[in-house]
Amino acid sequence: MSAGRVALVGAGPGDPMLLTLRAAELLREADVIAYDELVSPSILALAPACAERLAVGRRAGHGDTGYRLHPKVLDRVRAGKFVVRLKAGDPLIFGRGGEEAEELARAGIPFEIVPGITAALGAAAYSGIPLTHREHAGQVIFATGHRGDGGLPLPGMAAGRTLVLYMASRNLEANVSAIIAAGWPPSTPAALVQAATTADECTVVATLETLPTCASCTDHVATRLPGILIVGEVVALRAVIEWRGRASVVRKAAS
C-alpha cells in the first residue's frame, strides 16, 4: 500500500478565480477532499468527480473539539489516500491549520501547506478598501470577532491603524461597543463585508457608532453569515476606489 499524504490548502475567500495554481493542481490530484463548510461548491467542483468529498469543518466554534485533525482525515491517510484538507481563506490565519499541521508532524504523516488569499485581503480588495495607505494607515491588526470583545483592541490604537475582525457578524454590536470603549472614536469609518469576493457579496459602510443599525436594516446582512469587519480611516476611501461596479468595463478593455 502506498503511503498517504495530506495537503493543507487555502481555498481563498470564495471566488474560484482566486485559487493559487498549486491549489488547483492539488485539487485535480486528490483522492479525498476534506473541506470546510465555507468552501464554495464551485471550488469543490474543480476536484475529480471520483474524489471522495468529506465535510469536516466547524462553524462559530460549534462541533466536536476533541481532536485537532479530523479522524476521517487520519483514516483516509492511513489507508494510503492523498487527502486535500481544503480550508476557506488561508490555512494558517484563523483556520486551525497550525493545529492540524502539528498533529500531522507528530504522526509522521507527509504533508505540505499551500497558502490562500485570506478573507480579510479578499474582502478588502473586492470591496475597494485598502488596508494600508501612506496617508491613513501604516499598520493592520487582524483579530477574531468570535468573543464579541472587539479583538481586545488596545487603548489609543486608532490613529494610523486599520483593525480587521474575522467572523464579526454574530457579535457585531458587542464588538463595535468594545472597540469604541478601547478608544476608537465613534465616528471612525467602518465596513462589514459578507460573502466576500462572490456574486452575493454585501458591503455595508458606516461609522462605528452607526454600523450595527445600518447592518440590521440591510436585507442581505445576516448574523448566520461570516463577515469581515474593517475599521479605520481607509474605509472612507471605498467611495473613490470601489471598482466592482466598473469590472465589466475593465475586463472588456483587457480582453
Residues in the chain: 255
Question: What would the DSSP string read from start to end of 176-228?
Answer: HHHHHHTT--TTSEEEEEESTTSTT-EEEEEETTTHHHHHHT-TT--TTS-EE
Instruction: Return the amino acid letter for 72.
Output: K
- As a whole number, the mean pLDDT across the chain is 87
Phi, psi of 82 (to 5 degrees): -95, 115
- pLDDT at position 254: 36
- pLDDT tens digits for range 23-56: 999 999 999 999 998 898 999 999 999 999 999 9
Q: How confident is the model at residue 170 (pLDDT cuts 50, 70, 90)?
A: confident
Closest CA to 183 of 150, 227, 215, 212: 150
- pLDDT tens digits for range 60-89: 455 555 677 889 999 999 999 999 999 999
What domains can you pick out in the chain, each with its CATH number? Answer: 5-114 (3.40.1010.10), 119-241 (3.30.950.10)
- pLDDT tens digits for range 122-135: 999 999 999 999 99
- pLDDT tens digits for range 192-248: 999 999 888 889 999 999 999 887 765 555 555 779 999 999 999 999 999 987 654
- CB count within 10 Å of CB 255 equals 5
- CB count within 10 Å of CB 60 equals 13
* CA distances in angstroms from 175 to 82, 150, 182, listed in the order given: 40, 4, 11
Distance CA 249, CA 106 (A): 51
